[in-house]
Amino acid sequence: MEDKKTLFIDGREYRINGERNLLEVIRKAGIDIPTFCYHSELSVYGACRLCIVDIEGRGIVGSCSTPAEPGMKVHTNTPEIREMRKITLELLLANHEQNCLTCGKNSNCKLQELASRLGVDNVRFKPTHKPKPIDRSSPSIIRDPNKCVLCGDCVRMCHEVQGIGAIDFAYRGSDVMVLPAFGKDLSEVECVNCGQCARVCPTGALTVASQIENVWNELHNAEKTVVVQIAPAVRVALGEMFGMKAGEVVTGKTITALKRLGFDKVYDTSFTADLTVVEEAHEFLERKLNGENLPQFTSCCPAWVKFAEQYYPELLSNLSTCRSPQQMFGAVAKKMLPDLLDINRENLVVVSIMPCTAKKFEALRPEFNIDGYPDVDYVLSTQELGKMIKEAGLNFIDLETESFDLPLGFKTGAGVIFGASGGVSEAVLRLAVEKLSGNKIEKVDFLDVRGCEGIKETSFTINNTSVKIAVVHSLANARKIADMVKNGECDYDLIEVMACPGGCIGGAGQPCSFVDTINESRTQSLYNIDKNLQIHKSQDNPYIAELYEKVLTDHKITHELLHTEYNNRKRMSDNGLSFSEDNKNGKLHVDVCLGTGCYLKGAQDLLHEIITNIVDKNLAEQVEVRGSFCFEHCNNGPTVRVGKHLIEKCTLKLVLSEINKQLKATQTTAISS
């Protein structure tokens, strides 16, 4: 007799069909159990205790951390459970800054939503927390610890999905907080600005840093000509902010809205995505045919580029030298539009509408400006554009449609699919296959690089030339592939990397949603746009050909405008942590690197030994011991700097000898080594 894999939820029988836990079975039954800390893409945490249910014979348990078992009799809405959920919310609200009307997550906050939904109209508990400073140091993300509910979503996202761990829990008991490493600001640690922490944050503790006011000021400045570019992923997500279904294409309405807001010209980032394809494909073919710097990694994603700079400097020569489509657009626009629009370059303002928070950081990189004028002046997220449209009082749903301005508004389907994971590879293949085969291709769909898997791979053979490709999204997966390349464990030719799950369509600047299938809807819409366009290959874009003929007239100009290079980047800021009680000026500084490479080679034990010896020899008045974060000598750690002298593969004997030497040189008390 077959086992009956069913259980009872509020008196009704439901089948168990491979769900990870009881919560998923309950939600499949059409009951939306409230949660803060549960995400299908993250590990089960069980911190918020809102998903409690009553199981007959067991009592009250968290449904997210309880496996579903046959025969269970589950109650989801008893008086006791309702009261416990209310008390939990009241406790959270008591220690939560309640400036909801001015919060960036207002109307999209889970705490706000659940308080209303569960009927919490009074907070009976007194607050105990002390206000903490807001971290506005990052160009991409604002961190407000006063609004954190300690759900851990951001911590698990950064560690599990992105493989970084730039934020984590600190302290214990009632003092526990979520902080960047060593209590530093986000801009001082290894954060790559992807913003995925803000995407999953249920409150206003992590939000997208806004440039709305800056852009309004430029739009109201009569001396400025303000142009805007729209990334592919924006057009399949913006409508969600106005109640439209996920993935609905709103390109025409978006253009109309931007012109009504006051932008002088509206262009398409897909145009320079086409340009990126042409440059990146030719770069790849040159590398492939010469057997140099393979595999070639894509460089369109600024979060991935910063990740590579921090963690894999030895692979930077493998990154494509192509700028991202955003930065190519800025460079080309600042080069050609002053003449085309009869204005001075300094009066031209370029604004980007992006699904990505890391683009805000990218626009500020020093290599992307000329004489202090950046190629891209401001970057707005999809969320920010939606807020501007609402602020202007525009009825987005009822807007008529308009078209992009030329020439920087014409694109092919290859430029549009850039917004989805696998889109860059497919667009490059549409050019590379033609070049290698010498024949025009009619079949432009390369389905093997599509899909939602975190790591996809495929290979092609064209005219006896084999090409092996990997497509990766999320940085934890990128780390796996980068380690394989570093260790010689793979033979890929081209590797596409997107930091955000699903690619740009899942960027942190997109409208917030906790629906699992939303990225699939957005992705499919991009492929539908490709199908509906007349041209599907970047090399067939006539305005790209005209650009090469009139603007990119020689290799030097092309390289200056469209290419760049990247360098090793420290993961932590230079100002280290002092371990001395008194850090007066004039002391001899001993800096011990506590970066990952040195830590694994015993830097923490060495630090403790140095401090102990300094204290034992009564030299704390003359020597200050500090923790530093990277001297960029990771292969030769542990690394210690005494004064200005750097010691690689350092030992206690070596560092004490150098301290003794330098103290003697300054005629102070010496320490015996």
Pairwise CA distance, residues 230 & 236, whole Å: 11
CB 326 within 8 A of CB 376: yes
Please give the structure tokens belonging to residue 631: 């001297």
SS3 at position 457: strand
Q: Catalytic residue, from 24, 218, 362, 384: name it.
A: 362
CB 457 within 8 A of CB 564: no
SS3 content of the chain, % helix, strand, coil (to 5): 40, 15, 40
Paired strand residues for 623:
588
Task: Give the C-alpha distances (Å, rounded to integers) separating 177 from 108, 139, 430.
Answer: 23, 22, 49
Please give the structure tokens belonging to residue 19: 């769900």
Closest CA to 375 of 321, 322, 331, 325: 331
Residues 6+ apart with CB under 8 A from 19: 25, 28, 68
**407 prior amide bond cis, ω within 30:** yes
CB 232 within 8 A of CB 416: yes
Q: What is the largest CA-CA distance in the chain?
A: 91
Closest CA to 159 of 190, 183, 186: 190
Our answer to whether residue 43 is catalytic in this structure is no
Q: Catalytic residue, from 188, 283, 309, 624: name it.
A: 283
Our answer to whether residue 598 is catalytic in this structure is no
Q: Catalytic residue, from 103, 148, 191, 300: name it.
A: 300
DSSP 221-261: -TT-EEEEEE-GGGGGTGGGGGTPPTT---HHHHHHHHHHH
Number of helices and strands in the chain (H, E): 21, 24
CB 116 within 8 A of CB 92: no
SS3 at position 282: helix
SS3 at position 498: strand
Vertex 495 angle, CA 494 and 500, to 5°: 155
Q: Catalytic residue, from 184, 253, 265, 359: name it.
A: 359
Q: Catalytic residue, from 137, 138, 270, 320: name it.
A: 320
Pairwise CA distance, residues 561 & 576, whole Å: 37
Our answer to whether residue 138 is catalytic in this structure is no
How are beta strands 73-75 and 623-628 bridged, if at all?
unpaired
Q: Catalytic residue, from 240, 279, 280, 624: name it.
A: 280
CB 375 within 8 A of CB 368: yes
Our answer to whether residue 300 is catalytic in this structure is yes
Q: Which helix (H) or strand (E) holds 625?
A: strand 623-628
Q: Catalytic residue, from 504, 512, 598, 650: name it.
A: 504
CB 311 within 8 A of CB 509: no
Q: Catalytic residue, from 83, 346, 367, 391: name it.
A: 367
SS3 sequence of 396-440: HHHCCCCCCCCCCCCCCHHHHHHHCCCHHHHHHHHHHHHHHHCCC
Our answer to whether residue 280 is catalytic in this structure is yes
Our answer to whether residue 504 is catalytic in this structure is yes
Please give the structure tokens belonging to residue 374: 């950046």
Our answer to whether residue 560 is catalytic in this structure is no
Cα dihedral 170→171→173→177 (10° resolution): -40
SS3 at position 170: strand
CB 396 within 8 A of CB 245: no
Our answer to whether residue 359 is catalytic in this structure is yes
Catalytic positions, written as ranges:
280, 283, 300, 320, 359, 362, 367, 504
